[in-house]
Amino acid sequence: MTATYKSQDSATQARKWHALDPIWQGGKEFVCQGLPHSQLAPTWQILLLGDGSPTHLLQLLTSEKTEVDVIDMSLIDIDKDGAPTQIELVPEPRLRRQVWLRTESGQRLAYAASWWDASHVDEYLQNRTLPIWDSLSRLHTELYRDIQGLYYGHCEALEDAFGEKGPFWGRHYLFWHDRKPLTLIYEVFSPYLQKYLGKMSQRD
């Protein structure tokens, strides 16, 4: 079964961010009920389906501070940018941010692209080198992480960046603040995390 949370672009349209070419994808029903453990191990489900901060969880796993390398801050205005359909909930004009999440010692653990209301992004990302959760926590911003979709697929650029073979697991979600969508985030996690979480599925 697949969900309807597909990107807006065609398969041939070049993106300027690293989306997975999905082998499988699913929507809210899988987020709510979880996946068979033969498809995604329980420890990985906690990472992908949990509503906690991934940067904090990565820090707990690795015992190292989670650092952010910002690789892109681009004004995309009204462009849908090949993003998940929920980008339509983010007010225009929009800004796209891309980062690597890594350990303090330099091991890349995850990739994230996010889309923001460009006219208000500076209010929430006052220090753009901090993880999003850290920035918002310092402002005491109340948030709801609304996971919308899951992906399992390939991306050559991420294989090169992680130094790991795919396929990879990813997800996208909305952050809500004061009953309004604040940002849309698309995250992909490195298989390197198997060092801490074990195999990604019980059939591996």
The CATH number for 71's domain is 3.40.1410.10
Domain that holds residue 76: 32-197
Domain count, the chain: 1
pLDDT at 180: 82
pLDDT at 118: 82
CA dihedral 14→70→31→50, nearest 10 degrees, is: 170
CA dihedral 68→56→120→100, nearest 10 degrees, is: 30
Sign of the torsion angle spanned by Cα atoms 162, 84, 36, 51: positive
Please check whether residue 15 lies inside any domain of the structure: no
pLDDT at 10: 36
pTM listed for this prediction: 0.84
Please check whether residue 132 lies inside any domain of the structure: yes
Please check whether residue 1 lies inside any domain of the structure: no
Residues of the chain with pLDDT under 70: 1-15, 122-143, 202-204
The DSSP letter of residue 70 is E
